[in-house]
Amino acid sequence: MTDKDTGEETPADDRVGARNQSAADPDRNSTDRRTDPDESGESDPSDSPPDRDSNDSTRSQDDRNRPDEQTSLDGTDTSANLNTDSDSITADMSTQSVDIPDETKGSQTGVEETDEGTDPESSDGSGPLAGEIETAGGADGFSGDIDLDDLDLDTDAGDDSEADGASRGLFDDLLEGEPIFESKEVLRPSYTPHELPHREEQINKMATILVTALRGDTPSNILIYGKTGTGKTASAKFVSEELETTSQKYEVPCEVEYINCEVTDTQYRVLAQLANKFIDKNETYIEERTEELGSLRDRATDAADALEESEFDDVEAIETRIDELEDDLEAFDPVPMTGWPTDRVYSTFFDAVDYHERVVVIMLDEIDKLVEKSGDDTLYNLSRMNSELENSRVSIMGISNDLKFTDFLDPRVKSSLGEEEIVFPPYDATQLRDILQHRAETAFKPEILSEDVIPLCAAFAAQEHGDARRALDLLRTAGELAERDRTETVEEKHVRKAQEKIELDRVVEVVRTLPTQSKLVLYATILLEKNGVHNINTGEVFNIYKRLCQEIDADVLTQRRVTDLISELDMLGIVNAIVVSKGRYGRTKEINLSVPQEETEAVLLSDSRIGEVEDAQPFVQSRFDN
Ligand code: ADP
Ligand code: MG
């Protein structure tokens, strides 16, 4: 078999669920239906949840928002081109060092990171911060909760004079200030809160549907919609944990599998991941079962009446069953990450699920990403399984940020998947306040937040389509900025700075990931603005753009296309383009940059191709010569 044959996509029949069904589905030809959300056209509002239509124009922004939510605020790569870089790193280090005493008192983990700095043996006390450290290291250093004696620093010289002296390192300084956070973890997106204010209704609805599973029946499939940060993932995870706990309590075989389709975004990967998870579960099941049977056999060998209550007639029957189970265990064949034909992956998954009686809830988070990337085959196959399964039942819970994504589904998939729909509306400012208040109580030391901090974070995030993630990011970033300022309280100004930082991180991420042609158009706009041109028109942008293309040997697009790219930049909020009428000369656009010029230029120039443009000044000058 060639690589091609064994690749992830097996075009021949991805509807593998249709093992004996494909013949019954002659009209099904949707394997390559494209799912570009922007080409959706009209949809019938009657089959849409209430506010499904409302966020079209913000969707692309939402999508682009996500990466920076995940990375830049942790001080990782997105700010790399800006001078906030070192700040972010500092902030992160301070987190680690501040967290150490609380979380790992006396243990070795984490302490290693401070080792270099605090180890008196270390001769390298002259790092970049050394000067600052010496002046900052006062007599009252290491006050408050941070007690160096509590840290097992792997050195017997717990000598204060040393610690205050020249050999102090990078981390001493950061360990010093009164820490602001009690537990910063609580404000991170990865944290699953135990209480979800203002989601009672949605959580109850999910529970009402899923309780069926605890009665041994198949729950209806559920589709959950809502914009980013409306608590979909948190609520779904909360419900699934409760479901599993309860099923264990009552010994009902019910299992929940969670898959994030933004990460696991092809049919092959989804099915492979599910297959392997169920194989694992089956292995555990077999181990437990053989152990039970083993002890039953032992008891039965001693006294024959031990078998009375059991399904076995004699010891031999138990032995046979144990052998069977062991053979099954041998036969499990985990799916490799690539390489199998899709139908083999599917049947492995199918057999693993059907291995014994149970109800399985498969949660597909960010399901719209899966459909966008790989079409709806996975959903089609999953939603048809129940008619073939003998022992188990499958129920699907799909979670989507894109309120319109079902428009791109095969009608049968759509109706099966959307048996029940639950909408997560955006939070308003008051609700966001409650959410922040709850989290802040555990995240911060007492009395750290000044009065207006939470209301302001809530207000900013409410403007950002009621995004709780943004609210929490703001609060965390504000805390980090206060920590960096070494102030004792988090103030309103920290929230404002946090808002700017997050917004800038977003812009950086959006600009960084633009296609080259759009970057060139944007760069042309920036060059004009730098030369004091405002209300730039499309023709002017086009002229500079053309010169830039020639300079770096890029294809020159038509002015019409460039106009489209400008509109896209406008939609992303990078430029502001308004159409103005020029009387009998027709209409033109007036374009102004709506993001910080310097930072944006820096990001553009970090693109190796655009960085090739050595001296753009003459192009712009020539504009004035015409
Ligand atoms: P979504 O999946 O809708 O994009 P998440 O469930 O990931 O949103 O929520 C984003 C962040 O906001 C998470 O950190 C989550 O814990 C928090 N969050 C959302 N809703 C609530 C709520 N009602 N109470 C507490 N925290 C919440
Ligand atoms: Mg989510």
Q: Which of 442, 439, 447 is nearest to 457 (CA)?
A: 439
**Residue 613's pLDDT band (cuts 50, 70, 90):** confident
Residue 390 has pLDDT above 90, yes or no: yes
* Ligand 1: nearest atom to the Cα of 365: 2
Counting DSSP H helices and E strands in the chain, the numbers are: 25, 8
Q: Is the CB of 466 under 6 A from ligand 1?
A: no
156 Cβ contact partners less than 8 Å away, ≥ 6 residues apart: none
> CA-to-CA distance for 470 and 506, rounded, in angstroms?
12
φ, ψ (nearest 5 deg) of residue 363: -100, 120
| Protein residue with its CA nearest to atom 23 in ligand 1 | 196
> CA-to-CA distance for 484 and 333, rounded, in angstroms?
52
Q: For 288-311, what is the mean pLDDT?
A: 88
Residue 80 has pLDDT above 90, yes or no: no
Task: Tell if the pTM clears 0.85, that is, is over it.
Answer: no
Q: Is the CB of 472 under 6 A from ligand 1?
A: yes
Whether the CB-CB separation of 530 and 597 falls below 8 Å is answered with: yes
Residue type, 533: V
Residue 98 has pLDDT above 60, yes or no: no
Residue 622 has pLDDT above 70, yes or no: no
Please tell me what DSSP assigns to residue 557.
P
Q: Ligand 1 pocket test: which of 258, 435, 464, 473 has the largest number of ligand atoms within 8 Å of its C-beta?
A: 435
Which two structure tokens, joined as six digits, stand for 92? 């992160």
Which ligand places an atom closest to the C-alpha of 189?
1
54-66 pLDDT tens trace: 443 333 444 444 4
Q: Is the CB of 193 under 6 A from ligand 1?
A: yes
Q: Taking the CA atoms of the chain, what radius of gyration do you get in angstroms? A: 30
φ, ψ (nearest 5 deg) of residue 397: -120, 110
Ligand 1 centroid to residue 401 C-alpha, Å: 13
Q: Which of 3, 4, 7 is nearest to 268 (CA)?
A: 7
Location of structure tokens 């603005």: 529
Ligand 2 centroid to residue 350 C-alpha, Å: 27
* Ligand 1: nearest atom to the Cα of 187: 14
Where b means 16+ CB within 10 Å and e means fewer, 596-606 reads: eeebbbebbbe
Ligand 2 centroid to residue 229 C-alpha, Å: 7
* Ligand 1: nearest atom to the Cα of 471: 12
Ligand 2 centroid to residue 102 C-alpha, Å: 30
Q: Which helix (H) or strand (E) holds 226?
A: strand 222-226
Q: Is the CB of 433 under 6 A from ligand 1?
A: no
Q: Is the CB of 455 under 6 A from ligand 1?
A: no
626 Cβ contact partners less than 8 Å away, ≥ 6 residues apart: none
Q: How far from 498 is each of 473, 495, 503, CA to CA, in Å?
A: 9, 5, 8
Using a 10 angstrom Cβ sphere, with 0-12 exposed, 13-18 middle and 19 or more buried, the burial of residue 328 is middle
Whole-number pLDDT of residue 308: 83
Angle at 342 between CA 353 and CA 367, to 5 degrees: 70
Which ligand places an atom closest to the C-alpha of 366?
2
Q: Tell me what percent of the residues of the chain surpass a pLDDT of 70.
A: 70
392-418 pLDDT tens trace: 999 999 999 988 888 888 999 999 998
- 581 forms bridges with which residues in the sheet? 587
Q: Is the CB of 199 under 6 A from ligand 1?
A: yes
Sheet strands side by side (includes 575-581): 536-537, 587-593, 575-581
Q: For 276-290, what is the mean pLDDT?
A: 95
**Residue 585's pLDDT band (cuts 50, 70, 90):** confident
